[in-house]
Amino acid sequence: MEIPVARSTPHRRGRGVWGRSAALIVVGLVLLLVVAPRVPGALAATLRNDVAAAVRVPAATQFFVNVTATGYSPATLNVTPAVAFTIHLHNVDPNSAHTFSVYARANVTIPHNDTPAELNALFAPANASLVNVSLAPGAFDNWTANLTQAGSYEFVSLIPYQFQAGFFGFLNVSSGLTNLYEVNTSAYDSLKFVPNLFTIPPNAHVIFHVTDEGTTHTFTVDSISNDTNITVGQALPTSSDPGLIHPLVNLALSSTGTTYNAGPVAMPAHAVYWFVCTIPGHFQAGMYGFLYVGASPSPPTTLPSESGFFQVGILAVGGIVLAAAALLILLGMSERARVSRPRSSWPPSIREGPPSPPEGGGH
């Protein structure tokens, strides 16, 4: 006679182990086969959905010129004759002073091989310049004017050898800008620009307004267009990228709650540009976006850089869950082997059954 009590508890424990193992296997397979493959698509969808259109504005009367370590950005300004305008100057170069000096004679291009002495002599007469603003590192200044004579006026930096190195541009007094748009975005310490994808009409001039909602970042527009074949995670821009050495726009964001400005910047008929934060590690963490000029945003053909991190994490969790299931299965097999030993291997107290009652009934 078998004694059910001797093995009922191990059997129940064995069934519980197998049940937990099956549940873990299901969870692990869902993570590996269902969740992980969907992560890149979800991140790409997030990128695509954060789209904003540049906003049409009236003809330009406000201009924002950033003086960088390599020159003026933008270096070409178009103003309307007999209409008052203001140029807002910001020296974003933290190391050097510069000047913004506008030559008073229209349609004169100063030879770029002029020596510093020759340049100073050209600007020395009292009426030789329309304005001469000195900008210390990080300094701001404004110039308001109303020019009636049409023509092109060159502006330069008079600091020795800066003009020869590329510190010059042109103020064109003509029909002004009518195809003018504004782009507004914000930079966050979550290492995101919001919005981070803009559509811009072809042949537009764009004023950029970037609000610093965090600490220190940059808003840098790569000057080399990637047309419409741009891909996320491919050919990632670095500080040595030629388009970032001479960027289309370069704003240094350093004051929380402050809006920084640049432009109007002339955009081509058909192109796609990156804008990135160039502080080490910020771009790699996802602080970038795109300007689609005369083109419709399309899904990225490769994955956002952060998708790999999430995929690896989910795959690792799925692997751990399956490993735990395998361990439970082994424990269950061990339990099954223990409770399934032949009767001859049971202890004598169980194998021989209960003692027989004494003769005579044992009452």
* Residue 83 burial class via C-beta count within 10 angstroms: exposed 0-12, middle 13-18, buried 19 and up: middle
Instruction: Kindly tell me if the per-residue pLDDT of 68 is higher than 90.
Output: no
Residue 15, both tokens: 């069934």
pLDDT digits (tens, 9 = 90+) for 326-353: 666 666 666 665 555 555 555 555 555 5
Higher-pLDDT residue of 62 and 316 is 62
> What is the per-residue DSSP string for 256-267?
TT-EEEEEEEE-
Collapsed DSSP state (helix, strand, coil) of residue 192 = strand
Q: How far apart are CA 104 and CA 100, in angstroms?
A: 13
Provide mean pLDDT across the span 149-161.
Answer: 95
**Size (the chain), residues:** 363
Most confident of 155-159, 236-240, 303-307: 155-159
Categorize the per-residue pLDDT at 34 as very low, low, confident or very high, splitting at 50, 70 and 90.
low
DSSP H or E run through 4: none
Banded pLDDT at 24 (limits 50, 70, 90) = low
267-295 pLDDT, tens digit per residue, is: 887 888 889 998 888 888 888 898 999 88
Residues 10-26 have a mean pLDDT of 63
CA 280 to chain centre: 12
Which of 60, 131, 67 has its CA nearest to residue 95?
67
Residue 318 CB: number of other CB atoms within 10 A? 20
pLDDT of residue 32: 58
Calculate the average pLDDT of the chain. Answer: 78
pLDDT at 48: 47
Element (H, E) at 310: helix 305-339
The confidence score (pLDDT) of residue 151 equals: 92
